[in-house]
């Protein structure tokens, strides 16, 4: 019996990939999962290359694992994900104790690659891009919670000037519609009540159907909503460029789709959006939001912002701040611009010093936090439908669940409620969390 330890960095896509790896190795190789690095026979690092110095972070982690391998040379070290795809054999040149290097699209080959290493004691590497092949190896996994991520497509065709994803995940390619619906049906039978549809540009989904037609994203959402047991649907991440009217119409006729949308904009300046090669304007974004509010008046929107992009003037930054106020974003993921080698933006002059970038980031995040708190205050006294996920870590007498707009709510209740939707009256608000009590008509 062998044990695997897996460490995952990055987005929900990476988390989904790691769950696929675990299921494959458990079912095909009969391996067991361990939470102890010291007890592992196989160490797997699933990496992300979005942020600056991602490669260095990988080698620091590998340096720590080298000590384990020095004690036990039989330990196998595998590196996968975006950094592995980007760096390839360069990883082995710097860390020649690594045994396996696999890409974002070749994780399904891990069982075979492990067997090869055990026999040959030589490096096994495969960072190719076999289209959707990994999804043919999706096995029924044991789900312990009541929410689940499901990847519906891979890659990106947008080639934003700052982004490394198209180079590490490949071009956009959509999974067959029926494969997705089958996977979600299996999850529903296991007790999953909430599905989060994943993709680099999820709203660009165009999956083939059994009869040779194309299923678009709006239609896929409606089909998922028809699956027995699935009562709540989310998706991430969208691109404003392809947030078409047919998707907006789903908010009118599909109540299972949450009244919360994460729609990355990156900047409130058209000049900067053009430099970023985002291919839409602030006016385009505002038009989408107006239509969404008509379709779903109570919708709340979060976004992504990059601060200090090359060429961003104080005027550009102030335009972003005005835009944030006008849209009244609920939350955001906001970062200082990170130079990614190999991207067009890496060749631009980075004309803003780090102190100024940090100042702008602080101002932006402070504004967003105030708006988040304002949205939370509006929830005071309201009745919220909560999917109960488990017992609170803070107090075993309390349960916790999540609202449609991603607030954690704690309340007193019976363990029999776990996995069910209950109505909670909000009695106390914090910026990102709430407290309440059961509401019974």
Q: What is the pLDDT of residue 129?
A: 83
Question: Residue 393 belongs to a domain with what CATH number?
Answer: 2.40.50.140
* Domain boundary, last residue among 126, 159, 188: 126
Q: Are residues 193 and 283 in the same domain?
A: yes
Q: Are residues 241 and 304 in the same domain?
A: yes
Residue 395 lies in a domain: yes
Residue 374 lies in a domain: no
Residue 353 lies in a domain: no
Q: What is the pLDDT of residue 215?
A: 97
Task: Tell me the pLDDT tens digit for each residue of 362-395.
Answer: 999 999 999 999 999 999 999 999 999 999 988 8
Q: What burial letters (b/e) apply to 339-348, b meaning 16+ CB within 10 Å?
A: ebeebebeeb
CB 133 within 8 A of CB 105: yes
Number of domains in the chain: 3
CB count, 10 Å around CB of 220?
24
Q: Are residues 118 and 158 in the same domain?
A: no
Q: Are residues 69 and 178 in the same domain?
A: no
Residue 347 lies in a domain: no
Threshold 0.75, pTM exceeds: yes
Q: Are residues 151 and 251 in the same domain?
A: yes
Residues 434 and 422: their CA atoms lie apart, in Å, by: 15
The two beta strands, 206-208 and 214-216, are: antiparallel
Q: Are residues 179 and 49 in the same domain?
A: no
Q: What is the extent of the structural domain holding 406?
A: 380-438
Residue 337 lies in a domain: no
Q: Are residues 120 and 178 in the same domain?
A: no
CB 174 within 8 A of CB 207: yes
Q: Are residues 94 and 161 in the same domain?
A: no
Which run of H or of E encompasses 437? Answer: strand 433-438
Q: What is the pLDDT of residue 29?
A: 84
Task: Tell me the pLDDT tens digit for each residue of 236-287.
Answer: 999 999 999 999 999 999 999 999 999 999 999 999 999 999 999 999 999 9
Q: Helix 110-120 and helix 12-28: axis angle, to 10°?
A: 60
Closest CA to 95 of 67, 128, 127, 53: 67
Please, what are the averages of pLDDT over each run of 10 residues along the chain (441 residues)? 90 85 87 92 89 79 94 94 88 94 90 93 90 68 80 92 88 93 94 95 94 96 97 96 97 97 98 97 98 97 97 98 97 91 90 95 97 96 96 91 95 94 96 91 69
Q: Are residues 90 and 191 in the same domain?
A: no
Residue with tokens 């067991």: 32
Question: Would you say 177 is a known binding-site residue?
Answer: no
The two beta strands, 153-154 and 331-336, are: unpaired
Q: What stretches of 226-275 show up as alpha helix (H) in DSSP?
A: 245-253, 270-275
Q: What is the pLDDT of residue 394?
A: 84
Q: Are residues 180 and 149 in the same domain?
A: yes
* Domain boundary, last residue among 61, 95, 126: 126
Q: What is the pLDDT of residue 11?
A: 79
Q: Are residues 167 and 291 in the same domain?
A: yes
Residue 181 lies in a domain: yes
Residue with tokens 């006016």: 283
Residue 345 lies in a domain: no
Question: Residue 87 belongs to a domain with what CATH number?
Answer: 3.40.50.12160
DSSP class of residue 339 equals -
Residue 340 lies in a domain: no
* Domain boundary, last residue among 76, 92, 126: 126
What are the CB-based long-range contacts (under 8 Å, 24+) for 188-191?
Answer: 188/227, 188/228, 188/229, 188/230, 189/229, 190/142, 190/143, 191/143, 191/146, 191/229, 191/419
Write out the DSSP string of 370-435: HHHHHHHHHTTT-EEEEEEEEE-SS-TTEEEEE-TTS-EEEEE--GGGTTSEEEEEEEEE-SSEEE
Q: Are residues 157 and 284 in the same domain?
A: yes
Q: Which residues pair with 214 in a beta bridge?
A: 208
Question: Residue 274 belongs to a domain with what CATH number?
Answer: 3.80.30.20
Question: Would you say 215 is a known binding-site residue?
Answer: no
């Amino acid at each position: 019996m062998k044990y695997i330890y897996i460490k995952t960095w990055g987005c929900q896509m990476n988390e989904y990939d790691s769950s696929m790896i675990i299921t494959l190795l458990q079912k095909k190789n009969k391996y067991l999962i361990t939470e102890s690095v010291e007890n592992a026979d196989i160490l797997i690092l699933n990496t992300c290359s979005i942020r600056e110095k991602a490669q260095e972070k990988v080698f620091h982690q590998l340096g720590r694992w080298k000590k384990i391998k020095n004690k036990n040379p039989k330990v196998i070290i595998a590196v996968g994900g975006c950094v592995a795809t980007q760096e390839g054999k360069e990883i082995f040149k710097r860390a020649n104790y690594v045994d396996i290097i696999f890409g974002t699209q070749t994780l399904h080959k891990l069982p075979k690659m492990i067997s090869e290493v055990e026999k040959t004691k030589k490096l096994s590497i495969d960072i190719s891009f076999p289209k959707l092949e990994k999804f043919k190896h999706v096995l029924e996994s044991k789900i312990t919670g009541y929410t689940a991520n499901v990847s519906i497509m891979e890659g990106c065709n947008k080639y934003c000037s700052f982004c490394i994803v198209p180079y590490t995940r490949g071009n956009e390619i959509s999974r067959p519609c029926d494969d997705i619906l089958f996977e979600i049906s299996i999850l529903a039978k296991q007790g999953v009540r909430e599905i989060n549809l994943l993709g680099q540009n999820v709203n660009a989904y165009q999956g083939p159907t059994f009869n040779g037609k194309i299923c678009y994203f709006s239609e896929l959402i409606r089909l998922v909503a028809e699956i027995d047991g699935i009562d709540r649907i989310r998706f991430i991440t969208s691109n404003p460029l392809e947030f078409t009217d047919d998707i907006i119409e789903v908010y009118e006729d599909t109540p299972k789709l949450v009244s919360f949308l994460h729609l990355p904009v990156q900047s409130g300046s058209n000049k900067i959006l053009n430099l970023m090669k985002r291919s839409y304007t602030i006016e385009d974004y505002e038009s989408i939001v107006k239509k969404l509010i008509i379709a779903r008046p109570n919708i709340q929107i979060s976004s992504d912002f990059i601060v200090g992009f090359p060429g961003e003037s104080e005027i550009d930054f102030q335009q972003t701040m005005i835009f944030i106020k006008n849209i009244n974003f609920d939350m955001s993921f906001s970062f200082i611009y990170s130079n990614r080698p190999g991207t067009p933006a890496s060749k631009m002059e980075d004309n803003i010093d780090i102190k100024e970038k940090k100042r702008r980031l602080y101002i932006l995040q402070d504004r967003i936090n105030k708006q988040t708190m304002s949205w939370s205050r509006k929830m005071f006294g309201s009745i919220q439908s909560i999917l109960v996920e488990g017992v609170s870590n803070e107090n075993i007498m309390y349960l916790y669940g999540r609202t449609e707009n991603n607030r954690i709510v704690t309340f007193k209740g019976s363990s029999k409620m776990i996995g069910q939707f209950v109505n909670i009256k909000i009695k106390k608000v914090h910026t990102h969390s709430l407290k309440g009590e059961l509401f019974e008509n």
